A and B are shown apart, each in its own frame.
Chain A
Amino acid sequence: GQQVMQIPQYQHVQEGEDFTTYCNSSTTLSNIQWYKQRPGGHPVFLIQLVKSGEVKKQKRLTFQFGEAKKNSSLHITATQTTDVGTYFCAGTQGGKLIFGQGTELSVKP
């Protein structure tokens, strides 16, 4: 079955530093979604990527979908304390949304 691997599991950065999390799938993905979960909260949808090589930006967040549609990344430029949380990627297959293990980001002021 489809497996989605995400690294790193944890990332501690100084405020202002950049942050990147990577997502890899064992199979070709039809699309990939990214979510953010604040501590104690529930996952909140950020974005969906569909096309091979697609790049989308949301303010300081840049999302990429690999050419082979088997990997993706989320890059945050100049992190802020409001970026704290766990970032998940998720791939869809036949109605199922399969999540990676997530990357927990902590930001030191």
Chain B
Amino acid sequence: NAGVTQTPKFQVLKTGQSMTLQCAQDMNHEYMSWYRQDPGMGLRLIHYSVGAGITDQGEVPNGYNVSRSTTEDFPLRLLSAAPSQTSVYFCASSYSDRGIEGAFFGQGTRLTVV
């Protein structure tokens, strides 16, 4: 049972480049989310999904796109990378928004934009 798998683990981008952060879960969870973590800022919600075909914006959605074509996958796209997007990105999934198991997080992607 792999849980939540994020790829890549590390990435360096040049300003203006685009890329996709991959997230996959094998627990048949309906809820999936993307967070970014910056020092002193905690975990800020970028986008989330409550099921396949349904996505919505979180606290800091600008500069990011998501789609949810399957239950398992929830990729995060950076359209035109900026240095302000240098951060650690976490994908999370859960059975619901108030499940007794809470949310399961991937190992994170450390992104540097130069």
Determine if B42 and A96 form an interchain contact, defined as CB atoms under 8 angstroms apart: no
Check A92 for interface membership: any CB of B closer than 8 A. yes
Q: How far apart are the CA atoms of A14 and B99 in the complex, in Å?
A: 35
- Taking the closest CB of chain B, its distance from the CB of A46, in whole angstroms, is 8
Determine if A42 and B42 form an interchain contact, defined as CB atoms under 8 angstroms apart: no
Which listed residue (B42, B59, B97) contacts A101, Cβ 8 A? B42
Q: How far apart are the CA atoms of A1 and B56 in the complex, in Å?
A: 14
Determine if A95 and B101 form an interchain contact, defined as CB atoms under 8 angstroms apart: no
Q: Which residues of B contact A90 (CB under 8 A)?
A: 43, 103
- Taking the closest CB of chain A, its distance from the CB of B84, in whole angstroms, is 18
Q: Which residues of B contact A42 (CB under 8 A)?
A: 90, 105-108
Instruction: Name A's B-contacting residues (CB within 8 A).
Output: 1, 6, 9, 30-31, 33, 35, 42-48, 50, 88, 90, 92-102
Q: List 16 A-B contacts (CB under 8 A).
A: A6-B42, A31-B98, A33-B102, A42-B105, A43-B92, A47-B102, A50-B98, A90-B103, A95-B31, A95-B48, A96-B45, A97-B33, A97-B97, A98-B59, A99-B43, A101-B41
Instruction: Name B's A-contacting residues (CB within 8 A).
Output: 31, 33, 35, 40-45, 48, 50, 56, 58-59, 90, 92, 94, 97-108
